[in-house]
Structure 1
Amino acid sequence: MLDAKLLVIDDNKSVLSALEILLQFEYQTVKTISNPNQISSFPDLDTYDIVMLDMNFSAGVNTGNEGIFWLREIRKKAPQISVIMMTAYGAIDLAVKALKEGAADFVLKPWNNDKLLATVKSAYELRKSQKEVSLLKAQESNLKQVINQSNNHIIGSSEALKEVLKLTAKVAKTEVNVLVTGENGTGKELIARELHKLSGRSNEVFISVDMGSISENLFESELFGHTKGSFTDAKEDRAGKFEAANGGTLFLDEIGNLSLQAQAKLLSAIQNKTIVRVGSNKPIPVNIRLVCATNENLDKMVKDGLFREDLLYRINTIRIEVPPLREREDDILVLADFYLKKFAAKYAKPGLRINQPAQERLMAYAWPGNIRELLHTLERAVILSEGNLLQPEDFLLNAKSTTSATNGPETLEEMELLMITKALDQNEGNYSAAAEQLGISRQTLYNKLKKKK
């Protein structure tokens, strides 16, 4: 017996009795009514899976119009129900009309029991599939909301930030590819998320990929997916980030770290709007909004032959430059207060405040690590604080980046960060050139910066 609820509506009580006897051994609940006017007040109609509805109720009338009317009424109250129409007057045009109005199937009287049971079973399977689809859509919607949730917020009201947000809002409504540039720690991903949130794709998924952390040999698998057995560890088919972001926004961070070979593969996917999984030759169409970000000078990299010019044109329809924190002086204390409250709550230290000299020290600092550095500085100060008032000495800052400081770096870690920052400045943000100057590999340089963020 199937766990389903059926409602039979027919003015012939013999028909109702016959169907009730036939169906009661197949389905958990079978209800009957002889007057279609009861449909309007029938309790919990939307909990039923199948309705079997007669086409004619008035004596001498066989047009089927009454059945069509009540079919519409049922679908208004319970649009997901599978409705099977019944009539003693078989006509193809009447059946077609009922199906166009949303009926699941059509049964002629007198019926063959086996055929009728098969018809009802098919309607039940249809209703079951619709329930599963509705559940999957609800789960997908909830999952997208969870994925799109971000605990980070764009904080500040400086003119520099306002200009960025104004441009972001203007561009978000379009489908153009956007390149977000700026120093490490300025909040490029937040701008990308803002673009997604304000776009027509806001109800779809936002997928973020750190291109700098993907090794060369896994690039295609991560972005385009792979088929089972396509390489040693490919134990099952797997969708890549392009497929995962289909319908939504794909954010490629640190795109300047890609090799020329990887750039060519990415360009092909963007141009053709299709991807091919590793181990397959079947093209899969993808519909994404592409947002890329980098702290590299891509124009210089193009001149140096390190970045493809045609790829730059593809990703750079609109460029949004996120200003460094030193150019957002009005936001420094606002951000400091925001993170102070956040970490004071996290570490159960209510009532913490920053005194005036400490505020002045924060304002005087150049913040080479931008907002990310400010965040970690506040978190460290809150953790180590012993009173309710934070003093200048509670904030461990790089002395070279403070206008009033006279002492150099105090630790090996600070010295290393200073050397890396200086090398990047001297080479206009070019990772490869900075790494060569420091005598380390590009990947090592990137890993060291990641570790210090």
Structure 2
Amino acid sequence: MIDAKILVIDDNKSMLSALEILLQFEYKHVVTLNNPKQIPSYPGFSDIDIVLLDMNFSAGVNSGNEGLFWLNQIKEKAPYISVIMMTAYGSIDLAVKAIKNGAVDFILKPWSNERMLATVRSAYQLRKSQKQVIQLQKKEHNLKQVINQHNHAIIGQSEAIKNALKLTRKVAQTDVNVLVTGENGTGKELIAREIHRCSQRSNEIFIGVDMGSISETLFESELFGHSKGAFTDAKEERIGKFEAADGGTLFLDEIGNLSLKMQTKLLSAIQNRTIVRVGSNKPVPVDIRLICATNCDLEKMVSDGLFREDLMYRINTIHVDVPPLRKRGEDILVLCQYFLEKFMHKYGKPGLRINQSSEEKLLKYKWPGNVRELQHTMERAVILSEGNVLKPSDFFLNSAAISSFDSFPGSLEEMEALMIENTLKKCDGNYTLAAERLGISRQTLYNKIKKIRD
């Protein structure tokens, strides 16, 4: 027995009885109505799977217009119900009209039982498929909502951050490619998510990719996907990040870490808005909003032959520069209070506050790791606190970074290299700990050290 609900509507009671007897041996729920005017008030109408609807209900009328009228009423009330039209006065034109108006099939009276059962089975399979599609659409919508919930507010009232946010929200209304630049830990991903949130794609998915963590051998598979059997471990077909972000936003972080070979492959996908999976030669069109981010000076990399000029112009239609924390003034204290409340709640330490001496120390510090470093500093202070007041001694700041910024006359790259070297020394060569203190991933740290040593 198939667990489906079938409603038969016909003014001929003998027809109703015949269909009820025929269908009840195959379907659990078969209900009959002899008047279509009961349709608007019928309880639980949207739960019905199939309607068998006669096309003529008035004596002497055989145009089929009554049936078409009630078909439209049913489709308005429950658009996904499978409706089969029945009539003793059939014509090709009438059948075409019924199908155009949303019926799934058209059957003539008198019918053969085999034909009727086959038609109802087909209508049920269609209804079942539609239910599955609706369920998958709901799951997809819920999944997108869960993924897009990872969208923290950008906190701050300084002119520097206000200007960055003003440009961010302005450019969000367009679909142009955006390049977000800024030092490590300034919140480049938050800016990218803000662009997505304020865009017409906000109900679609946001996919972020750390380009610095993708090896050259896996680059194409990660971004463009692969076909089954494309290489040794390709046991099944897999879509890449471009396809996953179709209709939404693709955020490529640390784009300055790509090799020239990977840059060439990326440029082709961006220009053509199509990708080809590894192991396939079939182009797949993709509709994405592209946002890239880097802490590198791409113009200098172009002049040094390390970054393709055509790729830089392709990703840099609009440039948003995120200000470093040391240029955001009182935002430092606003962020301190935000993180203090967050970690008080997380670690069950209510009533903590920062005294004035601590505030002065935090304002004086240059914050080379920016907001990410401030977050880690506040978390450590809350965890290790012993009283209700956080004193200057509760904040462990990188003294090497202070002296570097106060007196070092070199370039930003040289300053970054010195910071990495000093942090590694303080961590006794522990790359994982050093990466955590610098507020970057372990792979990014490896890449930066390789670049420094090369």
TM value normalised by structure 2: 0.91
- The 2-side partners of 1:422 and 1:95 are apart by 86
Alignment correspondent of 1:162: 162
Letter in 2 for 1:227: S
- Tell me the secondary structure at the aligned position of residue 212 of structure 2: helix
The Cα shift of 1:372 comes to: 0.4
Equivalent residue for 1:340? 340
Aligned letter for 1:44? G
Give the letter aligned to residue 75 of structure 1: K
Give the 3 Å change call, closer, same or farther, for CA 446–66 of structure 1 in structure 2: farther
Q: Distance in 1 between matches of 2:53 and 2:407?
A: 80
**2:302 corresponds to which residue?**
302
1:392 to 2:392 alignment: yes
Instruction: Report deviation, 1:73.
Output: 1.3
Between the aligned partners of 2:431 and 2:310, the Cα distance in structure 1 is: 25
1:274-329 deviation per Cα after TM superposition (whole angstroms, max 9, x unaligned)? 11111111111111110000000000000000000000010000000000001101
Between 1:73-82 and 1:187-196, the stretch displaced more is 73-82
CA contact (8 A) 2:242 2:286 kept: yes
Letter in 2 for 1:35: N
Aligned to 1:184: 184
Q: What TM-score do you get using the length of structure 1 for normalisation?
A: 0.91
Cα distance in 1 for partners of 2:433, 2:226 equals 31
Please report how far the alpha carbon of residue 224 of structure 1 lies from its aligned counterpart in structure 2 after TM superposition.
0.7
Are 1:52 and 1:83, in contact at CA under 8 Å, matched by a contact in 2? yes
Checking the alignment, whether the CA contact within 8 Å between 1:172 and 1:198 is kept in structure 2 is yes
Equivalences for 1:409-428 in 2 at 5 Å?
426-428=410-412
| SS of residue paired to 1:162 | helix
> Structure 1 pair 394/447, CA: closer, same or farther in 2 (3 Å)?
closer
Query: Shift of the alpha carbon at 1:75?
Result: 1.6
Aligned to 1:41, what secondary structure does the other structure show? coil
- Residues 296, 430 of structure 1: 8 Å contact kept: no
Compute the displacement of 1:447 (Å).
Answer: 7.6
Structure 1: how far apart are the matches of 2:25 and 2:435? 66
CA distance in structure 1 between the partners assigned to 2:153 and 2:434 by the alignment: 23
CA contact (8 A) 1:212 1:446 kept: no
Amino acid at match of 2:282: K
Partner of 1:60: 60
Give the structure 1 partner of residue 371 of structure 2.
Answer: 371
Structure 2 counterpart of 1:260, one-letter code = L
Q: CA 1:445–1:238 in structure 2 vs 1: closer, same or farther (change >3 Å)?
A: farther
Do residues 133 (structure 1) and 133 (structure 2) align?
yes
State the 1:102 CA deviation.
0.9
SS of the counterpart of 1:152? coil
Cα distance, 1:422 vs structure 2 = 9.8
Match of 1:249 in 2: 249
Alpha-carbon deviation of 1:399? 2.6
* Displacement of 1:400: 4.7
Deviations 1:62-117 (A, max 9, x none): 11111111111112221111111110011111111111111111111111111111
Please name the residue that 2:356 is paired with: 356
Paired residue for 1:411? none
Q: 2:445 aligns to what?
A: none
Kindly indicate whether the alpha-carbon contact (under 8 Å) linking 1:6 and 1:29 is maintained by their aligned counterparts in 2: yes
Q: Separation in 1 of the partners of 2:253 and 2:5?
A: 52
Unaligned runs of 5+ in 1: 403-407, 409-417, 439-443
| Matching residue's letter, 1:136 | L
1:195 and 2:195 equivalent?
Answer: yes
User: How far apart, in 2, do the equivalents of 1:227 and 1:447 lie?
Assistant: 34
Which residue pairs with 1:214 in the alignment?
214
Structure 1 residues 112 and 133, CA gap change in structure 2 (3 angstroms)? same
Contact 1:427 1:434 in 2 (8 A): no
Consecutive unaligned residues in structure 2, runs of 5 or more: 422-428, 440-454
Deviation digits for residues 187-238 of structure 1 (CA, Å, limit 9, x no counterpart): 0000000000111111111000000011111111111111222222212111
Separation in 2, partners of 1:301, 1:85: 69
Number of aligned positions between the proteins? 430
Measured in 2, the distance between the counterparts of 1:328 and 1:242 equals 35
Between the aligned partners of 1:449 and 1:276, the Cα distance in structure 2 is 38
Q: Read off the aligned partner of 1:364 and give its amino acid letter.
A: K
- Residue aligned with 1:296, SS: coil
SS state at 2:218 partner: helix
Instruction: Give the counterpart letter for 1:305 in structure 2.
Output: G
- Give the Cα–Cα distance (whole angstroms) in 2 for the partners of residues 146 and 250 of structure 1: 17
Q: Does the 8 Å contact 1:52/1:85 carry over to 2?
A: yes
8 Å contact from structure 1 (residues 52, 84) kept in 2: yes
Q: CA deviation at 1:340?
A: 0.2
Would the aligned equivalents of 2:52 and 2:83 in 1 still touch at CA under 8 Å? yes
Q: CA deviation at 1:445?
A: 12
The residue type paired with residue 2 of structure 2 is L
For the 8 Å contact 2:151–2:190, the answer to whether it is kept is no
Q: Does the residue aligned with 1:167 lie in a helix, a strand or coil? A: helix
- Cα offset, 1:387, TM superposition: 0.4
SS state of the match for residue 179, structure 1?
A: strand
Tell me if structure 2 keeps the 8 A contact 1:56–1:67: yes
The 3-state SS of whatever aligns with 2:39 is: helix
Question: 1:77 maps to what in 2?
Answer: 77
Residues in 1 aligned to 2:414 and 2:123: alpha-carbon distance in whole angstroms: 64
Asked if the contact 1:297/1:430 (under 8 Å) is kept, the reply is: no
Q: Deviations over 1:386-417 (max 9, x none)?
A: 00000011101123555xxxxx7xxxxxxxxx
For the residue of structure 2 that corresponds to 1:216, the secondary structure is coil
Report what 1:9 is aligned to. Answer: 9
2: CA distance, partners of 1:352 / 1:373: 20
Q: How far has the Cα of 1:428 moved from its partner?
A: 3.5
CA RMSD of aligned residues (A): 2.2
8 A contact 2:211–2:253 mirrored in 1: yes
Distance 2:430 2:140 in 1: 39
For residue 233 of structure 1, give the secondary structure of its aligned residue in structure 2.
coil
Q: Which residue of 1 aligns with 2:263?
A: 263
Q: 1:158 to 1:249 in 2, by over 3 A?
A: same
Is 1:295–1:429's contact at 8 Å kept on the other side of the alignment? Answer: no
Whether the 8 Å contact between 1:185 and 1:369 is mirrored in structure 2 is: yes
1:147 has 2:110 as partner: no
Structure 1 residue ranges, 4+ long, deviating more than 3 angstroms after superposition: 425-431, 444-451
